[in-house]
């Protein structure tokens, strides 16, 4: 097969749009090199095409599967739309329109784990910046309990660390990692602070109190004093954070503490945050939800108008009673016993799915729009366009079937 590029890689939320794919002797190589990007393209270029659709595991044609899915959704008392890790903005738009018609619960966070209560960003707001602004201004980048060298391999290059030729700050910038694990990113750090995750909330609130001079440095352990000294040395700082801070019980309280600290620091210097999303499509789906309903990341439309969903156990039968789940370009979750599942996915749908329809993989077989982790919209190309429909097209047909 021929090489192609430059194209946008959707292997992670960085959406690098300078990627050329080479395929010597059946291998997959990327320029610029990226291990995760190779894996992402290899999975999509090499896997055999499954059946266009299945019903209870048996091959079916797409129209019959759509009719079956429409019937399940029409009869549902409590439908859930979830996934979106590999969805485009167009997919998310069509999903919100269908969720509105069904008065469904729509979730862009993982429904396999506990939700963490009222989300911090809508409550408090956040200071953000593009990758280019961080590259050109941030003299100190603090990575908080994340390992972007593994999950977003070109992040440090894109924000001007070693390997990135475009940083005008060069050696003046420093990488500080807060993590007690031995990660690839931590090994690259100029400065490291190690404490257990359980101490994050205390650390963030203590830093906030120290910054406001409400708690003397003599009263606080040396690591936090050192961190605040590093912060106070430079005019521009970026905090990089993600699920390492926000997942699990109390996660949104920790996120709130980070954003409150950033707000306090912004009185004297320029401080921004950069969130690492859990999936490539997550940022775009959350932006669509916020524009169209006013809320994100999880919205309940069952009352006929949007409400922020703040359940902490989203799939617990006694809390939500989800009876039909429609998965859109995402990983399979463990659903409540007896719930039916419909999957519209380019990846294999998984076991025990009642209805599945294979979609075209955005960025390889289908074009679309995705939002980079800093919110910048980018085009995904279709270098090997195929016959499979996009999730957006299927969702629009589902809506038409239900309204018929």
Query: In the set 44, 135, 137, 154, which binds ligand SF4 (CB under 6 A)?
Result: 154
Instruction: Please tell me whether residue 36 binds ligand SF4 under the rule CB under 6 A.
Output: yes
Query: In the set 7, 12, 245, 326, which binds ligand SF4 (CB under 6 A)?
Result: 12
Instruction: Please tell me whether residue 368 binds ligand SF4 under the rule CB under 6 A.
Output: no
Whether residue 257 is preceded by a cis peptide bond, meaning omega within 30 degrees of 0, is no
CB of 16 to ligand SF4, least distance (A): 3
CB of 71 to ligand SF4, least distance (A): 39
Environment class of 355 (CB within 10 Å of its CB; exposed 0-12, middle 13-18, buried 19+): buried
User: In the stretch 200-219, what mask flags binding to ligand SF4 with x, by CB under 6 A?
Assistant: --------------------
> How far is the C-alpha of 121 from the C-alpha of 291, rounded, in Å?
15
Q: Kindly give the interhelix angle for 89-102 and 391-403, rounded to the nearest 10 degrees.
A: 20
Environment class of 126 (CB within 10 Å of its CB; exposed 0-12, middle 13-18, buried 19+): middle
Instruction: Please tell me whether residue 11 binds ligand SF4 under the rule CB under 6 A.
Output: yes
- Near ligand SF4 in 39-68, by CB under 6 A: 40
Instruction: Please tell me whether residue 153 binds ligand SF4 under the rule CB under 6 A.
Output: yes
Instruction: Please tell me whether residue 9 binds ligand SF4 under the rule CB under 6 A.
Output: yes
Instruction: Please tell me whether residue 15 binds ligand SF4 under the rule CB under 6 A.
Output: yes
What is residue 260's three-state secondary structure?
Answer: helix
Q: Of 9 and 333, which CB lies nearer to ligand SF4 in the complex structure?
A: 9
CB neighbours (10 Å) of residue 174? Answer: 18
Q: Of 45 and 51, which CB lies nearer to ligand SF4 in the complex structure?
A: 45
Stretch that binds ligand SF4, among 152-160, 196-204, 235-243, 302-310 (CB under 6 A): 152-160
Report the 3 state secondary structure along 69-81.
HHHHHHHCCCEEE
Contact 184, 156 (CB under 8 A): no
What is residue 179's three-state secondary structure?
Answer: coil
Q: Of 14 and 73, which CB lies nearer to ligand SF4 in the complex structure?
A: 14
Q: Of 153 and 389, which CB lies nearer to ligand SF4 in the complex structure?
A: 153
Strands, E assignment, 89-207: 105-107, 140-144, 174-178, 191-193
The C-alpha R_g of the chain, in whole angstroms, comes to 22
Q: Of 42 and 205, which CB lies nearer to ligand SF4 in the complex structure?
A: 42
Non-local (6+) Cβ contacts of 100 within 8 A are: 301
Instruction: Please tell me whether residue 34 binds ligand SF4 under the rule CB under 6 A.
Output: yes
Query: In the set 44, 93, 135, 152, which binds ligand SF4 (CB under 6 A)?
Result: 152
Instruction: Please tell me whether residue 19 binds ligand SF4 under the rule CB under 6 A.
Output: yes
CB of 150 to ligand SF4, least distance (A): 11
CB of 362 to ligand SF4, least distance (A): 13
Nearest residue to the partner ligand SF4, using Cβ: 11
Stretch that binds ligand SF4, among 6-14, 159-167, 218-226, 235-243 (CB under 6 A): 6-14
CB of 18 to ligand SF4, least distance (A): 9
> How far is the C-alpha of 402 from the C-alpha of 404, rounded, in Å?
6
CB of 219 to ligand SF4, least distance (A): 42
Beta bridge partners of 191: 176
Q: How far is CA 343 from CA 9, 52, 164, 330, in A?
A: 24, 12, 40, 9
> How far is the C-alpha of 270 from the C-alpha of 265, rounded, in Å?
8
Strands, E assignment, 121-172: 140-144
By CB under 6 A, name the binding residues for ligand SF4: 9, 11-12, 14-16, 19, 34, 36-37, 40, 152-154
């Amino acid at each position: 097969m021929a090489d192609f590029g430059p194209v946008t890689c959707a292997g992670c939320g960085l959406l690098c749009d300078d990627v050329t794919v080479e395929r010597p002797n059946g291998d997959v190589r990327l320029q610029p090199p990226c291990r995760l990007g190779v894996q992402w393209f290899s999975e999509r270029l090499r896997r055999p095409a499954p059946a266009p659709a299945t019903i209870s595991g048996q091959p079916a044609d797409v129209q019959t599967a759509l009719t079956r899915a429409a019937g399940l959704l029409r009869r549902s008392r409590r439908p859930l739309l979830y996934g979106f890790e590999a969805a485009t903005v167009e997919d998310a738009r069509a999903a919100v329109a269908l969720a509105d018609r069904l008065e469904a619960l729509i979730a862009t966070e993982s429904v396999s784990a506990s939700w963490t209560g009222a989300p911090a960003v809508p409550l408090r707001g956040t200071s953000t910046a593009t990758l280019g602004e961080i590259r050109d201004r941030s003299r100190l980048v603090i990575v908080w309990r994340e390992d972007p060298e593994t999950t977003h391999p070109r992040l440090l290059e894109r924000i001007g660390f070693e390997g990135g030729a475009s940083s005008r700050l060069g050696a003046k910038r420093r990488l500080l990692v807060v993590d007690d694990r031995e990660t690839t990113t931590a090994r690259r750090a100029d400065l490291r602070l190690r404490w257990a995750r359980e101490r994050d909330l205390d650390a963030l609130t203590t830093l906030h109190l120290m910054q406001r001079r409400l708690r003397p440095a003599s009263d606080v352990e040396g690591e936090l004093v050192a961190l605040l000294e590093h912060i106070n040395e430079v005019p521009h700082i970026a905090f990089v954070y993600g699920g390492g801070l926000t997942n699990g019980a109390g996660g949104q309280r920790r996120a709130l503490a980070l954003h409150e600290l950033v707000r306090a620091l912004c009185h004297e210097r320029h401080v921004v945050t950069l969130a690492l999303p859990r999936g490539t499509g997550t940022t775009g789906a959350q932006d669509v939800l916020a524009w169209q309903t006013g809320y994100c990341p999880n919205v309940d439309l069952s009352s006929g108008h949007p409400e922020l969903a703040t359940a902490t156990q989203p799939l617990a039968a006694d809390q939500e009673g989800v009876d039909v789940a429609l998965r859109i370009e995402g990983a399979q979750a463990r659903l409540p016993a007896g719930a039916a599942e419909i999957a519209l996915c380019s990846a294999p749908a998984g076991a025990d799915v009642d209805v599945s329809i294979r979609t075209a993989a955005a960025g390889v077989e289908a074009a679309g729009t995705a939002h980079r982790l800093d919110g910048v919209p980018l085009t995904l190309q279709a270098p090997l366009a195929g016959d499979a429909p996009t999730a957006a097209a299927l969702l629009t047909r589902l809506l038409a079937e239900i309204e018929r």
